[in-house]
A and B are shown apart, each in its own frame.
Chain A
Amino acid sequence: MIKTIVSEGLPIDERLIIKKNIIKGNKEGHKRICIVTGTHGDELEGQYVCFELNRLLNENLHFLKGTVEIYPALNPLGIDSVKRGIPTFDLDMNRIFPGEEGGHLIEHIVYQITEDLKGADMVIDIHASNIFLREMPQVRISIEMAEKLVPFAQMLNIDFVWVHDAATVLQSTLSHSLNSKNTPTLVVEMGIGMRITREYGDRLIEGIFKMMSEMDMWDGPVVDVVSEPELSTNGEVCFLNADTSGIILPNISHSMYVKKGDLLCKIVDPLEGKVLQEILSPVNGTVFTLRTYPVVYEGSLVARIFSTEKCK
Chain B
Amino acid sequence: MREEILLQMKSPYRDDFKIRAFRFGEGKKSMAIVGSLRGDEVQQQFICSQLVKNLIELEKNGCILPGHEIMVIPSANHFSMNINKRFWAMDNTDINRMFPGYENGETTQRIASAIFESVKDYKYGIQLASYYIPGQFIPHVRMMDTGYQNTNIAKRFGLPYIFIRDPKPYDTTVLNYNWQVFGTQAFSIFSGDTNNINKDTAKITWISILRFMHKSKIINFPMHDGFISKTISDTDTVTVKSDDAGILYALKGAGDEVKKGDLLAKILDPFTGATRSQILSPVKGAIFFAHQKPLIHQNSVLFKIINW
Contact = CB atoms under 8 A, between A and B. Distances in A.
A298 B10 contact: yes
Contacts of A132: 91
Contact of B132 (A84, A89, A299): A89
Contact of A95 (B9, B92, B170, B244): B170
A11 B12 contact: no
Given A96-B170, A241-B105, A9 B245 contact: yes
Contact of B106 (A10, A13, A16, A299): A299
A172 B170 contact: yes
Interface string B233-248: 0000001010011110
A172 B97 CA distance: 13
Contacts of B223: none
Given A11-B247, A298-B9, A300-B107, A91 B170 contact: yes
Given A9-B298, A241-B105, A300-B91, 20 more contacts: A8-B298, A9-B245, A10-B245, A11-B247, A12-B295, A13-B270, A104-B299, A105-B298, A171-B169, A172-B169, A239-B105, A241-B106, A297-B9, A297-B12, A297-B107, A298-B10, A299-B105, A299-B108, A300-B90, A300-B106
B106 A301 contact: yes
Contacts of A295: 12, 90
B190 to A, nearest CB: 15
A239 B103 CA distance: 13
Interface string B272-307: 000000000000000000000001111111000000
A216 to B, nearest CB: 35
B145 to A, nearest CB: 15
B142 interface: no
A105 B300 contact: yes
A199 interface: no
A4 interface: no
Nearest to B276: A9
A234 interface: no
A295 B295 CA distance: 36
Contacts of A241: 104-106
B270 A297 contact: no
Nearest to B89: A297
Max chain A Cβ within 10 angstroms of own Cβ: one of B86, B104, B245: B245
Interface stretch (A140-148, A220-228, A244-252): A244-252
A241 B104 CA distance: 7
B82 interface: no
Contacts of B241: 102, 104
A169 interface: yes
Given A84-B92, A88-B297, A245 B11 contact: yes
Nearest to B90: A297
B173 A90 contact: no
A11 B271 contact: no
Contact of B172 (A104, A169, A239): A169
Contacts of B170: 91-92, 95-96, 169, 172
A108 interface: yes
A169 B177 CA distance: 12
A154 B234 CA distance: 44
B234 to A, nearest CB: 11
Rank and list the top 4 A-B pairs by shortest CB-CB distance, nearest first: A9-B245, A9-B298, A11-B295, A299-B107
B116 to A, nearest CB: 15
Contacts of B169: 95, 168-172
B133 A245 contact: no
B110 interface: yes
A296 interface: yes
Contacts of A296: 12
A9 B195 CA distance: 26
B205 interface: no
B109 A299 contact: yes
A91 B9 contact: no
A260 B287 CA distance: 62
B299 A11 contact: no
Contacts of A104: 133, 241, 299-301
Interface in B70-109: 86, 90-92, 94, 97, 104-109
B45 to A, nearest CB: 18
B92 A105 contact: no
Interface in A60-110: 84-85, 88-92, 95-96, 102-105, 108
B168 interface: yes
B271 A13 contact: yes
A48 B133 CA distance: 34
B248 to A, nearest CB: 8
Nearest to B300: A105
Contacts of A105: 297-301
A246 to B, nearest CB: 6
A255 B105 CA distance: 22
12 contacts: A8-B245, A12-B246, A13-B270, A85-B92, A91-B132, A130-B91, A168-B172, A246-B12, A295-B12, A297-B9, A298-B9, A299-B106
A182 B109 CA distance: 33
A84 B247 CA distance: 26
Contacts of A171: 169
A9 B107 contact: no
B271 to A, nearest CB: 7
Interface in A1-27: 8-13, 16
Contacts of A297: 9, 11-12, 90, 107
